[in-house]
A and B are shown apart, each in its own frame.
Chain A
Amino acid sequence: MHDNEHSSHHEESFISKYIFSLDHKMIGKQFLIYGLIMLFVGGGLALLFRWQLAYPERPLPIIGASPQYLEEGEVVTGADRMWERIYESEQEEWLEVNMPNGVVEPAFYNMLFTMHATIMVFFVVVPILVGAFGNFLIPLMIGTRDMAFPILNMLSFWLAVLAAIVMTIGFFVPGGHAAAGWTGYAPLSSDPQWTGVDWGQNLWAISLLIQGFSSLVGSINYITTIINMRAPGMTFFRLPLVIWSLFIVAILLLLAFPVLSSALALLIFDRLAGTTFFTATAEGGGDPLLWQHLFWFFGHPEVYILILPGMGIASELVAVFSRKPIFGYRSMVYAMIAIAFLGWIVWGHHMFQSGMRPGLGSVFMTTTMLIAVPSAIKTFNWLGTMFRGSIRFTAPMLHAIAFVSMFVIGGLSGIYMANTPVDIFIHDTYYIVAHIHYVVFGGSLFAMFGGIIFWFPKMYGRHMNDVLSKIHFWLTFIAFNCTFFPMHILGVGGHMRRISNPMQYEFLQQFEGMNIFITMSAFTLGFAQLILVFNFFWSMYRGKVAEKNPWHVNTLEWEAPTPVPHGNFGQIPTVYRGPYEYSVPGEESDWIPQADPEHAPATSGD
């Protein structure tokens, strides 16, 4: 049988096994490490500007100059010596330009929040949730040996690396990195005279174009694989929900990213070739609003690209650890399809303040509020799944419950914002910042943490340390809420986002204490992630060795031996039932694997 030649053991060089690997599992792990590294870059940027918000124009801890040095020029600390050396050197040092004495400059502040969001959206959440989990899980969970196009798969990862390198170079070019916000609104982004940023913004656009190619190649691969390569018996309605979510997300990425690419190309022409697509001029110029339309036509589907895989992962975890079938499997699928579809016709709700006919605003308001319906279906289904289940409060389950709870908070604030009159009041305030973080951190990242702990035994053959995982969870959960919940209050109080020094406004001075509290929580949140990273790498070598199916899960990835060999399965499994047959009445065991031909006839899924 020709299949066995794939799974037979053959030695590979270090480079073809770990670097230019064609194996979907290795590429998934590469995306995971890549995303975790970028998570720390993006988080570090956030801590820098959080310091400035809490203690405006005061030197940063550790690397900032001491008060004695600032007042009398007396060198006291090591940091003082560093600054002394920087000021004495002939050329303009990077630190001197961006944060003299360790104080974040306003222009640097703009760059920090722009790059924080850019990195988190394009280089952390998508690479991990879609790149890592998609690559690792799709072939394993649909029961095949690899992706449809392994070479394109490798290309997808290395294009993402190239994009990250280009994006990183942007920090060090003269004029600094992009500073027009992650949304890159024109004319801030299209004309260097407004931000003073020259090549930073160009590299930002070029990097995102490269990331677009990476996503394109990846999504073609995902869609083809899921349509064409499912194991015998794996009908569409027997697919695990996480695979459904990745399938839908791949379609969204495929169709949404090219629109951003067209906008980025026009932006690059504006900046480098002298066109005026996004600048109104007397002689047949363009329109700054056009950028917003193109960006948000991509940007809103992108929001669902960020959250849908989280929903998929949470669905797996909730069902497994409640030991119950997922409540309303088909409605879960249809709800995701509905969310993905509605995501295309709501982009105008980002632009209520930009100038829009009130009638058109009402249309966008209505379509936006409609999204609450499928979202509520999903939420009630998760609750219905947990209801009267034998819930096991493992670390992944804690993350899944946190996902559901935080998603509800983020989703509800979204409904307020969908109202045009409310949005006009809270537009561009910290309320929006709170909302996006409740969805993307409270939602996507909690699902991501849960997913990492849950699939770690299959990825590395060992368990992550349970105590450390739980400490990490509780610290993260508490610090997360302390960081982002008060932002709702700041926002309603009129605290604008994207200002480097709120204390210059009298009406914001009352929020100084709250800003300090948020910053302290943010630092705690940041340091809590070190526990995760330590646990991750420590467990890779020292964790408890995992058996084949430690959580007693039905889906196919747990049929493969641990660690999963090249080619995944000795014999491609045949699927007999849906993925969530837990606690089937009359059965001795509380789980029936999808590939199990014995036991009760299929009840769900078909």
Chain B
Amino acid sequence: MMETHNNSGIRDRQPLSNARLGILILLGAETMLFSGLIGTFLVFRVGNVTWPPPSHIGIELPRAVTGINTALLLLSGYTMFQARRAIQKDLVKQLHKWLLLTGVLGLLFLGIQGSEWGQLIGKGLTLQSGVYGGIFYVLIGCHAVHVLSAVIWLFIVFGMALKGRFSAARYVGVDTCTIYWIFVVALWPILYVLVYLF
């Protein structure tokens, strides 16, 4: 029997490592989760002639601030991409810088969104305000939970990077986090347009 008949021989043929493939498959499930919630939103949005419903007149979603927030999150997608490029070139210091910047942008996004939520609740838009308030908080909140978990993941990767775990030859940990981060970032403009502008 030849040496190539073992599993390491197979690994050379894989276009994607198990971890990268696994995270891409996870995104399929995430997409369907959000499809369910976005579908629910659309049923309510299209099913109501006036949106927001008459009982919510006077409540305006913070379009402008959230627009700026959208830009911040998109920027974090760029910085995350730069982090990945840095480690591909074995620039570990650059990796640290870009990861930290991405994490700060993510936290900033969450902070701004949190303060906006606080103001909306103060104006009387709560989870119990019919389906308008309900689906707003559930859909946007579901995304926020994903951003939060992405930020936590990112800081774990950052901690591993500080310990020198990554190099140009070995950066699966950065890669998987990047894939997830890009998904969370790319999802947001869709939600912004649907929920805030549509």
Contact = CB atoms under 8 A, between A and B. Distances in A.
A1 interface: yes
B114 interface: no
Interface stretch (A278-286, A330-338, A547-555, A576-584): A278-286
Contact of B53 (A2, A148, A283): A283
Given A145-B7, A224-B18, A284-B48, A258 B33 contact: yes
Contacts of A287: 43-44, 47
B122 interface: no
Contacts of A231: 10
B55 A232 contact: no
A263 B35 CA distance: 11
B24 to A, nearest CB: 9
B28 interface: yes
A138 B48 CA distance: 49
B11 to A, nearest CB: 8
Contact of B32 (A144, A224, A258, A266): A258
Interface in B44-74: 44, 47-48, 52-53, 55-56
B5 A574 contact: yes
B10 A230 contact: yes
A572 B21 CA distance: 23
A216 B36 CA distance: 16
Interface residues of B, number: 46
A572 B32 contact: no
A424 interface: no
A275 B1 contact: no
A220 B22 contact: yes
A273 B128 CA distance: 7
Contacts of A274: 127-128
Contacts of A478: none
B131 A227 contact: no
Contacts of A574: 1, 5
A228 interface: yes
Interface stretch (B88-96, B132-140, B147-155, B173-181): B132-140
Given A228-B14, A269-B138, A571-B1, A262 B36 contact: yes
B127 A232 contact: no
A514 interface: no
A261 B33 CA distance: 7
B54 to A, nearest CB: 8
A148 B10 CA distance: 13
A275 B137 CA distance: 10
Interface in A39-70: none
Contacts of B197: none
Given A254-B29, A255-B32, A3 B134 contact: no
Contacts of B43: 287, 290, 293
B36 A228 contact: no
Contacts of B5: 232, 571-574
A263 B29 contact: no
Contact of A276 (B9, B22, B40, B131): B131
B6 interface: yes
B190 interface: no
Nearest to B1: A571
B30 A258 contact: yes
Nearest to A222: B25
B37 interface: yes
Given A220-B22, A269-B138, A277 B7 contact: no
Interface string A202-223: 0000000000000010011101
B40 A290 contact: yes
Contact of A258 (B3, B8, B29): B29
A230 B5 CA distance: 11
A256 interface: yes
A33 interface: no
A237 interface: no
A284 B56 contact: yes
Contacts of A258: 29-30, 32-33, 35-36
Contact of B131 (A148, A219, A286): A286
Contacts of B56: 284
B169 interface: no
A162 interface: no
13 contacts: A220-B29, A221-B22, A224-B22, A229-B7, A231-B10, A254-B32, A255-B29, A259-B32, A269-B138, A277-B135, A283-B55, A572-B5, A574-B5
Given A286-B44, A290-B43, 15 more contacts: A3-B6, A3-B8, A144-B10, A220-B25, A228-B21, A229-B10, A230-B10, A261-B33, A262-B40, A265-B138, A269-B134, A274-B127, A275-B128, A276-B128, A284-B56
5 residue pairs, one from A and one from B, having the closest CB atoms: A284-B130, A262-B36, A258-B33, A284-B53, A275-B134
Interface of B: 1, 3-10, 14, 16-18, 21-22, 25-26, 28-30, 32-37, 39-40, 43-44, 47-48, 52-53, 55-56, 127-132, 134-135, 138, 142
